[in-house]
Amino acid sequence: MRLAATVAILTILNAGLAAGSALAAGDPKEGEKVYAKCRACHSMDAGKNGVGPSLHGVFGRKSGTLEKFAFSKAMTEKAVVWDDKTIAAYMADPKGYIPGNKMIFPGLKKASEVENLLAFMKSAK
């Protein structure tokens, strides 16, 4: 079931990437509401880590490489570069995308939430 939901979300997101509009269509204000689910563990401020790493400057960063944060071996070994597509896949199913990572959040099940979150994260630079 979880795999089917992940595949469905990735299919929607990939179709949008091909069309060049789905991820660009996100609403930063709605994304800030989605980010409320992340705020307990993550900050958007540079150098401010919590239970999870700071998300400031995450676009273009390789997983598991933020200084002064103890990442799981799984996150470090995945060595994925964070961009719209990889963040969307991770947020759809964190444990499925990077098995063994420490994040306990189950993921966002609606593609619109992922799109809006990405728009907010980009606007919060």
pLDDT class of 22 with cuts at 50, 70, 90:
very low
Residue 113 has, within 13 A of its CA and on its CB side, a CA count of: 15
pLDDT class of 9 with cuts at 50, 70, 90:
low
Question: How far is CA 79 from each of CA 20, 101, 108, 114, rounded to the nearest angstrom?
Answer: 25, 12, 22, 21
Count Cβ neighbours within 10 Å for each residue of 77-105 and write b for 16 or more, e otherwise: ebebebebbbbbbbbbbbbebbeebebee
Tens of pLDDT, residue by residue over 53-92, are 999 999 999 999 999 999 999 999 999 999 999 999 999 9
26 vs 16, higher pLDDT: 26
For the entire predicted model, the pTM comes to: 0.80
Checking if the pLDDT of 10 tops 90, the result is no
